[in-house]
A and B are shown apart, each in its own frame.
Chain A
């Protein structure tokens, strides 16, 4: 849309500018409710990066956001808006957890954990493939069907927990705890085994899985034929069809990969932290994934960086809520909204100004060349 902007302005300056506007808007709200934005910001930064424990929490939150952010991005590259990351992540957790409950007592960890991963990925994939199929073959708008599938997923989870998975005599809608072989090791446990002292946190080996997923998405999209076909459909379904690529097939491929990625949230939250199935373990991460993908410009590197940013916001926000009376973590949800607004919906509002500013800077040089 802005061909006159140099690449680095488009990729670096504009996103940072939009992020700045979103932070400014949130800062105004912080000031309006009578708090000091600078104090909030410094407590937030310190809480997120100031200690090994805080940084581990930041990375733990970021892990989930990498999965949901990549899920949004893969669908986006095929021209689809997958707003159903939330529901696909719920199914992912369900798939992971059901495998753990079913095979947990019988299998050792090195067999069970890959099976749990597969179970979660397949469940998320299936939950995304149905809206994908409906879009490709029946023309049902994927935004609406994935929204509906979010609600269906949460209803399914409630029903399974309340009616089937809850141990007899228990009131809480939770499954029984998994067998120890179904626990994905935490990072501090692994480091302790290696002789390194690290404070306890929910950060677990899913972090490596998230980085591997980001690398795999990068290779898939830009270095394989399958990825090329997917992106071709995203940039022009008619042209892609003319080149012999079936857009319907690509919709299925993109949604399946997208759902599988969202499903991996189950490894972080269920296998890595909770060690049982429960309600609300996704807690809006599917929607945070939209913000992450927009912020990261749908590129795996950008998504990893944006995930760390959002992880820091969530961890820092929790610290601020603890230290500053009257501050609520919901401030972070609001900031997320501002980021989606300014780096998503209004991403190019600022571009003409930047183009003009860029033009002014360049104008004297151009004049000299002609003179």
Chain B
């Protein structure tokens, strides 16, 4: 294996894994608090659209991120209103968010920009550029391009893994958040508001979804394209489960899924010794297949938070 190949595969693994990781951590925060989040895909799509529309209209990265966050926190709030306050079905609410996002982004895109649902590309000054542009030339393909050639959001996503771990396992808030996902009644008995904790988890979830969606526009594609998330939200959901609802596990799962994606493109039409031509769809399907196999308990056991999907009814 030459260094250039390893460097480029590493670089594209990180690029693909970043939005997955941000989205998976978002789902993790919500699900550890006992709220199923099928709507990750929709929130990511809305965030990408909001960031692209704001970025194209006002030419500001900060405003693009702020709009994305505003929209996704609002959607998380809607999810909370339906499921936490009114005890609606969490899966149904998530499906609704996905459908609304899929339709609304195109409707608004056509009405505002008239390009068949696309937004105009956001300017280079709005997009995130590599933090150390000279690294690739100075340090070579492996460290320079593979590890240090990325933009701020990539490193932020990586830093968020220990940050979310610390929040969940080393703070009082995190302890309560996990407790509300395992035995909400006890949290309530201890005098802590269950709905407030779940709304807090959903707000954090919205913020991370916003980063995931913005990344698609600010770092990958310059403009919003209809349905550009293309199942990434569900892949993130799979990564979260494959990581057994743990931030570090989710991190490895996202890296694995990112790696599979990076490799799948490179293996197109390549004949491997002993195997023959690798069917690329098989590699692309592997994340979903692995998640099903894990859920079936054939490779370790993934245990969901006990209160997942159950609305909390306060006793009187």
* B and A form one assembly: yes
Residues of A within 8 A of B (CB): 29, 33-34, 81, 83, 134, 138-141, 143-145, 147-149, 151-152, 155-156, 158-159, 162-163, 287, 290-291, 294, 326, 328, 330-338, 340-341, 344-349
Knowing A294-B92, A346-B82, the reply to whether A330 touches B102 (Cβ < 8 A) is yes
Bound Cα distance A326, B107 (Å): 9
B11 located at the interface, meaning its Cβ lies under 8 Å from any Cβ of chain A in the complex = no
Q: Which chain B residue shows the least CB distance to A147?
A: B234
Interface residue from A34, A158, A346 paired with B281 (Cβ < 8 Å): A158
B68 located at the interface, meaning its Cβ lies under 8 Å from any Cβ of chain A in the complex = no
Looking at the complex, which of B119-127, B253-261, B285-293 is the stretch in contact with chain A? Answer: B285-293
B185 located at the interface, meaning its Cβ lies under 8 Å from any Cβ of chain A in the complex = no
Interface size on B, residues (CB 8 A): 50
Interface residue from A138, A158, A294, A334 paired with B104 (Cβ < 8 Å): A334
Residues of B within 8 A of A (CB): 36, 38, 78, 81-83, 86, 88-93, 95-104, 106-108, 110-112, 114, 117, 226, 231, 234, 237-238, 241, 279, 281-282, 284-285, 288-289, 291-292, 295-297, 304
**Is there an interface contact between A326 and B95, defined as CB atoms closer than 8 Å?**
no
Q: How far is the CB of B145 from chain A (nearest CB, A)?
A: 30
**Is there an interface contact between A134 and B295, defined as CB atoms closer than 8 Å?**
yes
**Is there an interface contact between A290 and B285, defined as CB atoms closer than 8 Å?**
no
Residues of B within 8 A of A148 (CB): 238, 288-289, 291-292
**Is there an interface contact between B100 and A337, defined as CB atoms closer than 8 Å?**
yes
Q: How far is the CB of A310 from chain B (nearest CB, A)?
A: 12
Given A294-B92, A326-B114, A341-B78, 15 extra CB contacts under 8 A: A29-B104, A140-B297, A147-B38, A151-B231, A287-B98, A326-B111, A330-B107, A333-B106, A336-B99, A338-B96, A341-B97, A344-B89, A346-B82, A348-B86, A349-B88
Q: How far is the CB of B288 from chain A (nearest CB, A)?
A: 4
Bound Cα distance A192, B161 (Å): 66
Residues of B within 8 A of A331 (CB): 103, 107
Bound Cα distance A330, B118 (Å): 13
Q: Which chain A residue shows the least CB distance to B282?
A: A159
Residues of A within 8 A of B38 (CB): 83, 143, 147
Q: Which chain A residue shows the least CB distance to B304?
A: A141
**Is there an interface contact between A83 and B95, defined as CB atoms closer than 8 Å?**
yes
Residues of A within 8 A of B114 (CB): 326
Q: Which chain A residue shows the least CB distance to B110?
A: A328
Bound Cα distance A331, B100 (Å): 9
Residues of B within 8 A of A333 (CB): 99, 102-103, 106
| The 9 residue pairs across chains A and B that have the minimum distance between CB atoms | A334-B103, A337-B99, A337-B100, A333-B103, A33-B111, A345-B93, A341-B96, A330-B106, A345-B88
**Is there an interface contact between A334 and B107, defined as CB atoms closer than 8 Å?**
yes
**Is there an interface contact between B106 and A337, defined as CB atoms closer than 8 Å?**
no
Interface residue from A134, A138, A152, A287 paired with B95 (Cβ < 8 Å): A287
**Is there an interface contact between A337 and B237, defined as CB atoms closer than 8 Å?**
no
**Is there an interface contact between B96 and A344, defined as CB atoms closer than 8 Å?**
yes
Interface residue from B82, B295, B304 paired with A345 (Cβ < 8 Å): B82
Residues of B within 8 A of A138 (CB): 295-297
Residues of B within 8 A of A152 (CB): 285, 288-289, 292
**Is there an interface contact between A159 and B100, defined as CB atoms closer than 8 Å?**
no
